[in-house]
Amino acid sequence: MLSQKLPELVCPAGSLPALKAAVDNGADTVYLGYKNDTNARNFAGLNFDDKSMREGIAYAQSRGRHVLMAINTFPQPGREADWRRAVDGAADLGVDAVILADVGLLDYASKRHPQLRLHLSVQGSATSYEAVNFAQREFGVQRAVLPRVLTLAQVEHVIKNTTVPIEVFGFGSLCVMNEGRCWLSSYATGESPNTVGACSPAKYVKWEKSPGEMTTRLNGILIDRFGDDEAAGYPTLCKGRFDVNGETYYALEEPTSLNVLEILPEIARIGVSAIKIEGRQRSPAYVTQVTKTLRAALDALAKDSERYHVKPAWQAELAKVSEGSQATLGAYNRPWR
């Protein structure tokens, strides 16, 4: 048996059917956001209005699950009230916690709603225990989500030096992982997750099909050209193939997905409190597939951590929904720091 607690499974919900899919397939917790730029998945037609938010929260909480609201973009000059209103709304709706990135907003939430549980978003970019402890000391943060830049040893180092429970990513599309500090999308379009809540907003994206190939442009910048038999990826600068000194290749990052099934026992052993699945922009089908698989793996781990092994069926299910042709351990097992 596992001597420590099993990490909580935190699943994405971009719509009410996705939320229900997460709850029905074994999520301990779901995270969601309003239909506006106060969260980092502000895509057309995605997310919750007041009515679906209420229904979603009731659906999850009546089944003993938790609901987290992401308000994880940075308040824009002159519009700070919109972000404060979002925090007030979350408190009124009775969510179990809000996920915040901006220190000003953390300060507001901690003073205005002292009972509201605060999580430090991955967009807050806290990569050291000093940063995590600062957020705890100043704002009473009760959980921190670590950016996907740390090795497993570094995650363990953070956990050993803080009393703040730590959440890490367990599955989903990878980007350059410089969360909260990445301005590549702004470089191309003037808009980024930090400012408008979307990386490479769709209005700047153009897919063009011609015989034998498809080209992707972001605000006119050629990002990639795919042959008919090549997998496509999200249209972001970090996943483009560029001509560098006469060689064309993925100069920044290859389209890949993170998948931690192989190191799940290690993640539990070092004391990670929660594992997050990326993908509020994905459909209920994705949420069903990924939640079900991670739930099965966590349950197997809880049953007998010594005999835990990754089932091929789990990997096959996750490989199917992965972006890019490969799933990796990301930074967790990277030899360099």
Partner 1 sequence: MRQAFSIPRFQLPAFVSAIGVRLPQWPHAVALTAGLNAVARMKLLPEDSLELLEGRTFFVEVLDTGGKVSFTYRAGFFRPLFSTPDTPDLSFRANLSAFLQLLARQEDPDTLFFNRELSIEGDTELGLVVKNMLDAVEWPQLPKLPLFRH
Q: Which residues bind partner 1 (CB under 8 A)?
A: 14-18, 21, 35, 43-46, 49, 52, 201-203, 205-209, 214, 226, 228-233, 235, 255, 281-286, 288-289, 320-324
Query: To the nearest whole angstrom, how small is the minimum distance from the Cβ of residue 164 to partner 1?
Result: 33
Of the pair 197, 233, the CB lying nearest partner 1 is at 233
Contact 118, 106 (CB under 8 A): yes
CA distance 115 to 62: 21
Of the pair 183, 207, the CB lying nearest partner 1 is at 207
CA distance 103 to 107: 6
Of the pair 180, 255, the CB lying nearest partner 1 is at 255
Of the pair 17, 271, the CB lying nearest partner 1 is at 17
Query: To the nearest whole angstrom, how small is the minimum distance from the Cβ of residue 46 to partner 1?
Result: 5
Query: To the nearest whole angstrom, how small is the minimum distance from the Cβ of residue 296 to partner 1?
Result: 14
79: which residues sit within 8 A by CB, 6+ positions away?
Answer: none
Query: To the nearest whole angstrom, how small is the minimum distance from the Cβ of residue 6 to partner 1?
Result: 24
- The helices-and-strands tally (H runs, E runs) of the chain is 11, 15
Kindly state the helix (H) or strand (E) to which residue 232 belongs, with its residue range. Answer: none
Six token digits for residue 109: 């939430």
Of the pair 7, 235, the CB lying nearest partner 1 is at 235
Of the pair 197, 284, the CB lying nearest partner 1 is at 284
Query: To the nearest whole angstrom, how small is the minimum distance from the Cβ of residue 292 to partner 1?
Result: 10
Over the range 287-321, which residues count as b (16 or more CB within 10 Å of their CB) and which as e?
A: bbbbbbbbbbbbebbeeebeebeeeeebbeebeeb
Query: To the nearest whole angstrom, how small is the minimum distance from the Cβ of residue 261 to partner 1?
Result: 18
Contact 197, 40 (CB under 8 A): yes
CA distance 221 to 200: 12
Of the pair 170, 233, the CB lying nearest partner 1 is at 233
- Angstrom CA distances, 268 to 67, 160, 193, 226, stand at 22, 14, 30, 39
Query: To the nearest whole angstrom, how small is the minimum distance from the Cβ of residue 160 to partner 1?
Result: 37
Of the pair 40, 109, the CB lying nearest partner 1 is at 40
**Strand ranges for the chain from DSSP E:** 8-12, 29-32, 66-71, 97-100, 118-120, 143-145, 166-173, 205-210, 213-218, 221-227, 241-244, 247-250, 256-259, 274-277, 326-328
Query: To the nearest whole angstrom, how small is the minimum distance from the Cβ of residue 218 to partner 1?
Result: 10
